[in-house]
Amino acid sequence: MSMARVARRVATAAAYGGGGIGLLGGVAAGILLAEMQMARRSIGVNDDIPPDADGLYGAEYGGVPGSRVP
């Protein structure tokens, strides 16, 4: 085989391989997007107000925020 023919075969194989990898990446992205949409439909949107981030979550937990005294 001549060098040109070998180079052409290597280039063709690289093109097919790159296309296959691109196709697999597209399929993976599509699966992730579909799972994301299914999760959004199943979980829904939360309209509740989130708790304050002051370290106290409820009246029964009155104390100094950040203290670890039992």
Please name the amino acid found at residue 69: V
Is there a domain that residue 39 lies in?
A: yes
The 10s digit of each residue's pLDDT in 6-55 is: 888 888 888 888 888 888 999 999 999 999 999 999 988 888 887 777 76
Could you tell me if residue 36 is inside a domain?
Answer: yes
Is 56 in contact with 65 (CB distance < 8 Å)? yes
- 11 part of a folded domain: yes
Domain count, the chain: 1
- Name, in order, each residue with C-beta under 8 angstroms of 65's C-beta and a sequence gap of 6 or more: 54, 55, 56
pTM of the model: 0.50
